[in-house]
Copies of this chain bind each other. A is one copy, B any other.
Amino acid sequence: MQTVRVALAERSYPIHIGCGLLARADLVAGAIPEPRVAIVTNHTIAPLLLERLAGPLEAAGVACVRIVVPDGEDHKDWATLDRVIGELLAHRCDRRTAIVALGGGVVGDLAGFAAATYQRGVPFVQVPTTLLAQVDSSVGGKTAINHARGKNMVGAFHQPRLVLADMDSLATLPERELRAGVAEVIKHGAIRDAALFAWLEANVERLVARDPDALAHAVQRSVEIKAEVVARDERETGERALLNFGHTFGHAIETGLGHGTWLHGEAVAAGMVMAAGLSARLGLLDQPSADRLRRLIERAGLPVAGPPLSTQRYLELMAVDKKARGGRVRFILLERLGAAVIRGDVAPDAVRATLEAGVTA
């Protein structure tokens, strides 16, 4: 087991990475105020993993309320949150009952927002079961639900007490979701770590083949990068926005197609190719580096072009991005592989040209 710490003063917490961690009731019990948890998971994960987590917890004397919600981004909404809150109330969960998210990014965001807002906030534990959630969404405290007009538009910052990333849970992950997780690993290399990027160029096929050592390395390095960025800018007033590389275009893709049509990681993959294309078009990034990023994403089996929405539609969808300020969209761009910047002064023509070049006809 490897442990990475997220350093946030009194809200600091450990991320444990390894095999067999779902059964480590001791780790969960040590992180919560009372021996009682509400585990939130979905109908796909529940038959595979719920009892592997709840069984050992109950054996260790931790009472478990089980809350199973429908699977999918479409259900990361108020209706599902209302159900979760209703079940917490029906089971008399109080302010000291921890909420445990068992699942991918959707479950983590939803259960995390429930934890942030139930009775104005209760303790939270993340047990991410997808590669994407392990390398990205389970770390850093961002929680949210979607609004009809935009993804993640209602949310809160609420740090977990503990993150358990169990490599065993990736064994049953559908291949398409595994590849989507690789997109966020590539992102971490692209914005921050040329060595990770080069390692991915040498090892991306091992990741997709679920080599456990390769997966553990990718998770650990991703989490270290994310923890470092989050520790310096918890509330995304500056540097943390770099983690949104590929996400301005990516969120437009997800909202434009309807949430859940493309996986988040797939949308981010195409979004990174577009953002690198925009960087090259502006003369920030050399073309060979933009091409290297595109090739790596292609080798991971991920899309390298956006779906055929109109340029106008893309622009409208991007205008509501949370990073926008005073109506101006801010882009995360690359200066080189391993170094990103935020730019709020991108000429609209360059964005249009990038969309016209970067979208499937």
Seen from chain A, the residues whose Cβ lies within 8 Å of a Cβ on chain B are 34, 36, 78, 81-82, 85-86, 89-90, 92, 94-96, 116-121, 142, 144, 147-150, 152-157, 235-236, 319-320, 322, 324-327
20 CB-based A-B contacts, threshold 8 Å: A34-B326, A36-B326, A78-B82, A82-B148, A85-B149, A85-B153, A86-B147, A89-B149, A90-B149, A92-B319, A94-B326, A94-B327, A95-B322, A119-B155, A120-B142, A120-B144, A120-B156, A120-B235, A120-B236, A120-B322
Closest CB in chain B relative to A114 CB, distance in Å: 8
B156 to A121, Cβ gap below 8 A?
yes
| Chain B residues with CB below 8 A from A326, complex form | 34, 36, 94, 96
B149 to A322, Cβ gap below 8 A?
no
From A92, which residue of chain B is reached at the shortest CB distance?
B327
| Chain B residues with CB below 8 A from A36, complex form | 326
A86 to B148, Cβ gap below 8 A?
yes
From A236, which residue of chain B is reached at the shortest CB distance?
B120
Known A78-B78, A325-B95; judge A121-B153 contact (CB<8 A).
no
| Chain B residues with CB below 8 A from A152, complex form | 120
Query: 6 tightest A-B contacts by CB?
Result: A89-B149, A119-B322, A120-B155, A117-B154, A94-B324, A78-B78
| Chain B residues with CB below 8 A from A153, complex form | 85, 89, 118-119
| Chain B residues with CB below 8 A from A157, complex form | 120-121
A118 to B154, Cβ gap below 8 A?
yes
Closest CB in chain B relative to A115 CB, distance in Å: 11
B147 to A324, Cβ gap below 8 A?
no
Of B118, B148, B155, B325, which is within 8 A of A117 by CB?
Answer: B155
| Chain B residues with CB below 8 A from A94, complex form | 322, 324-327
B89 to A320, Cβ gap below 8 A?
yes
| Chain B residues with CB below 8 A from A144, complex form | 120
Q: Once the chains are docked, how many angstroms separate the CA of A326 from the CA of B326?
A: 47
From A113, which residue of chain B is reached at the shortest CB distance?
B117
B156 to A92, Cβ gap below 8 A?
no
Q: Once the chains are docked, how many angstroms separate the CA of A81 from the CA of B148?
A: 13
